[in-house]
Amino acid sequence: MQNPYMPSPVTIEQIDIENDLKDIKTFRLKFEREEDSRRFNYKPGQFAELSLFGFGESPIGIASSPTEEGYLLFSIKKTGTVTSELHNSEQGRKMGIRGPFGNSFPWDRMKGKNIVIVSGGFAFTTLRSAIIYMMDARNRGDYKNITAVYGARSPGEFLYKKELKKWQQSEDIDLTLTIDRQAEEEWDGSVGLVPSVLKDVSPSAENSIALVCGPPVMIHFTVPVLLELGFRKEDIILSLENRMKCGIGKCGRCNIGHKYVCVDGPVFTFSELEKLQTE
């Protein structure tokens, strides 16, 4: 019997500071054992439990795409015990990983559709995974137009600046970056909050699915815009977070109603969430 509580050993290969505030770092992890790497089959939208022994575990969305072979990426904000210790870590440190856990974005349903990506702040991580995955030459033909609106407080707070630059120059994706208000530094993107910029971009709802990840207030104002654009409730895809321990639907704390975020989610459609709304 495979023990789902046993972490597989990984090494931190590389650490990149993502933002000006320096409280978000991306960790590149490599499996120590080839068989663990092979067994870790994941899809964009899933998460893993990262272990620092003596500190504990944290559930973190996977920021790399399965098309990026040989390593995993996790972008982590310094917040609690485990994530603070991770931020104090150096390259070469050994740690553990369990997963992949949870469902993923609805990849079967997304085939042949236009994909609209809406994100704000730090929640962009699993959407990076989704975009890299779709942009891969082996997969790009499976999706029609890819439109993305990504907002941050200021230019220095965007994650994955290198990739964003590449995507801005690509014809395979229509990316709009926006900052909350006019910055002192040079900025040639949009200015304004994500929901209003989304309204300006006005992506067609025809044969489209929207993936939305961001802070609760952004989601609160973004969903009505999408509905107004004609998106059906079941075509608005959201990803949730809750406190977790086991990641495998047993420990009892991440539920919303009778659904566990760790195994039934973290990805839900807006129509599913509406039914759980009283929770």
Partner 1 sequence: MKTGILTKPEIQELFSSMITKNGEESRIFVPATIEGRVILEEFSPEREIFYDFANFLRPPKGIFFPQREVLCSFEQERAVEVPPAAGRIIIFGIRPCDARSFLFLDKIFSAGSSGFADPYYLGRRENSVIISLSCIEPSEGCFCTSLGGGPGDESGSDIVAFDLGDRLLFEAHSAKGENFIEENTTEFRQPDAADQNAKKESLQAAFNAISRISTDGLVEKLDDDFSDSFWEEITATCLGCGVCTYLCPTCHCFDITDEKDRDGTGTRVRTWDSCQYPLFTMHASGHNPRAEKKQRMRQRIMHKFSYTPRTTGDVFCVGCGRCVRKCPVNLDIREVIRKINGE
Position 253 contacts partner 1 (CB under 8 A)? yes
Position 94 contacts partner 1 (CB under 8 A)? yes
Between the CA atoms of 199, 202, 207 and 213, what dihedral angle is there, to the nearest 10 degrees?
-40
| Contact range with partner 1 by CB under 8 A, out of 21-29, 183-191, 197-205, 247-255 | 247-255
Question: How far is 151 from 158, CA to CA, in rounded Å?
Answer: 8
| Contact range with partner 1 by CB under 8 A, out of 20-28, 35-43, 153-161, 242-250 | 242-250
Q: Which is nearer to partner 1, 12 or 209 (CB)?
A: 12
Q: Which of residues 96-125 bind partner 1 (CB under 8 A)?
A: 96
Q: Which two three-digit tokens encode residue 24?
A: 């978000």
Do residues 124 and 53 lie in contact, with contact meaning Cβ atoms separated by under 8 Å? no
Position 41 contacts partner 1 (CB under 8 A)? no
Site string for partner 1, 47-86 (x = CB under 8 A): ----x-xxxxxx--------------------xx--x---
Q: Which is nearer to partner 1, 70 or 215 (CB)?
A: 215
Position 196 contacts partner 1 (CB under 8 A)? no
Minimum distance between the CB of residue 251 and partner 1, rounded to whole angstroms? 5
Out of 91, 228, 250, 271, the only residue in the binding site for partner 1 (CB under 8 A) is 250
Local structure of residue 64 (DSSP, 8 states): S
Position 157 contacts partner 1 (CB under 8 A)? no
Minimum distance between the CB of residue 60 and partner 1, rounded to whole angstroms? 11
Between the CA atoms of 279, 223, 114 and 241, what dihedral angle is there, to the nearest 10 degrees?
-40
Return phi, psi of residue 166, to 5°: -65, -45
Using CB atoms within 10 A of its CB, is residue 81 exposed (0-12), middle (13-18) or buried (19+)?
Answer: exposed
In Å, the largest CA–CA distance within the chain is 58
- Alpha-carbon distances, residue 76 vs 18, 88, 205 (angstroms): 9, 12, 33
Q: Tell me which residues touch partner 1 (CB under 8 A).
A: 1, 3-7, 9, 51, 53-58, 79-80, 83, 93-96, 241-243, 245-246, 248-258, 260, 263, 278
